[in-house]
Amino acid sequence: MLTKPMKQYLVLLCALLSLGALHAQNNAAAVAAAEALLEKQPSAQEAASHDIEEVIDASAEARQRAELAAEQAKIDSLSKLLTPAQAATVDSIVAMRLRLQRKQIASCISTDSLAVLDTLPSGHDAVQVILYANNTWRYVRNREIEKDSTIFDRYWDTTKLFPYRDVEYASLPRATVIQLVDSTNGYHTPYKPAPVRSRYGPRRGRAHQGVDLALKAGEPIYATFSGRVRISEYNRGGYGNLVIIRHDNGLETYYGHLSERMVQANQWVEAGQVIGLGGSTGRSTGPHLHFETRYYGQSFDPERLIDFKSGILNREYFLLKRSYFSIYSRAGQDFEEEIANEEQDKKEQAEREAMRYHKIRSGDTLGAIARKYGTTVNNICRLNGIKPTTILRIGRTLRVR
């Protein structure tokens, strides 16, 4: 384990590394600009002004170089304090930060209507290449060979909706990094791009553990990621026709109220494969898809992953925090909270600035003070915790607003 000061070093080092990269870019730009100037054959007058610019450039460059060298020296001296394992940790922290950045991943092409021309081996036994009639191809996992995962063995139950009952909430990691897509695992929006009609969160006294997308009955519903169908059944608890797919990363996606199910339990599916048709079965007031994302049975807001309106997947790697499993934890909430806090701060600041005080002089009465500051006796009493009958002591300061 890393000690606290060591962690602080790591954070500092990460910041320095990113600064260094920035300065390296600036330096490269400065060098390019200087070279471009030298290549030109300027007139005497231009040459004079260019000379000045070059001097400025050169001094700026020298300064940057000195800053960069100083930073490098800092990095070097910090690096010496780290063991190779810790240095590797620093590298992986930097890499992970890059990975967790937001991205825009569009839906893959649905290959349902395409004829498969051939299935070819790839350089890896567990990966095959499928050729389609329209000359496109994609990598798929060879499920016969791939046995390196227990995802599809442990807690695998094709009859129980929630097989993770034994998994205690407290035993789940505080945060876990989940890879959503890679070269063999694509993404497809569960329905065509559509606005969210009803969001994740408490709704009319119940916990709404997914999002609702209004649709036209009979339109195709797609597997969001590749994986294996765990449940395909008519559910009497409200889901109606329900498909649950477990994915290679351990996530499960739920597709409810379908008019038709087109996959069977235990069947392997690829992202973008049509798994059923939209409908209004179960507890539903009109055709819509009820879509859930769960991890070890715990639901979290699907809008953390997908922008349903555009159909875009937000990221390649997702930092799933345990706090997201709360029904009150919604995507964008962190941001909303930030705005709310900011507004509260502004309000308090404005109140502080609006405060007015009055120093009591001989002959002052509460009524006269109230009139002077455009307020009431009651207000002054409330602000100062006094009664209208309190005797005013000369020299005392009263808050009047």
Q: Which residue has the tokens 């597709």?
A: 255
264's tokens: 């069977």
Task: Return the number of the residue (186 or 256) whose C-beta is nearest Zn ion.
Answer: 256
Q: Which of 225, 260, 218 is nearest to 245 (CA)?
A: 225
Residue nearest to Zn ion (CB): 290
**What minimum distance in Å lies between the beta carbon of 190 and Zn ion?**
12
CB 268 within 8 A of CB 312: no
Task: Return the number of the residue (188 or 290) whose C-beta is nearest Zn ion.
Answer: 290
- Tell me which stretch binds Zn ion (CB under 5 A): 32-40, 113-121, 205-213, 366-374: 205-213
**What minimum distance in Å lies between the beta carbon of 211 and Zn ion?**
7
Give the total of residues touching Zn ion (CB under 5 A). Answer: 2
Cα angle value 308/267/276 (rounded, 5°): 40
- Tell me which stretch binds Zn ion (CB under 5 A): 33-41, 46-54, 209-217, 275-283: 209-217
The 3-class secondary structure across 209-265, one letter per residue, is: CCEEEECCCCCEEECCCCEEEEEEEEECCCCEEEEEEEECCCEEEEEEEECEECCCC
Task: Return the number of the residue (285 or 362) whose C-beta is nearest Zn ion.
Answer: 285
19 sits in which H/E element: helix 4-39
CB 219 within 8 A of CB 192: yes
**What minimum distance in Å lies between the beta carbon of 239 and Zn ion?**
9
Task: Return the number of the residue (290 or 304) whose C-beta is nearest Zn ion.
Answer: 290
Task: Return the number of the residue (121 or 237) whose C-beta is nearest Zn ion.
Answer: 237
Contacts with Zn ion in 70-89 (CB under 5 A)?
A: none
**What minimum distance in Å lies between the beta carbon of 330 and Zn ion?**
14
Question: Is there binding between residue 212 and Zn ion (CB under 5 A)?
Answer: yes
- Tell me which stretch binds Zn ion (CB under 5 A): 57-65, 212-220, 237-245, 361-369: 212-220
Contacts with Zn ion in 334-393 (CB under 5 A)?
A: none
Task: Return the number of the residue (23 or 199) whose C-beta is nearest Zn ion.
Answer: 199
Contacts with Zn ion in 250-309 (CB under 5 A)?
A: 290
CB 255 within 8 A of CB 243: yes
CA distance 172 to 191: 30
Write the Ramachandran bin of 149: left for phi over 0, alpha for psi from -120 to 50, otherwise beta: beta
**In 40-83, alpha helices (H):** 44-81
**What minimum distance in Å lies between the beta carbon of 247 and Zn ion?**
20
**What minimum distance in Å lies between the beta carbon of 319 and Zn ion?**
25
Strand segments, DSSP code E, in 236-369 are 240-247, 251-258, 260-261, 268-269, 274-277, 288-295, 298-300, 306-307, 312-313, 317-321, 357-359
**What minimum distance in Å lies between the beta carbon of 280 and Zn ion?**
11
Task: Return the number of the residue (246 or 290) whose C-beta is nearest Zn ion.
Answer: 290
Binding site for Zn ion (CB under 5 A): 212, 290
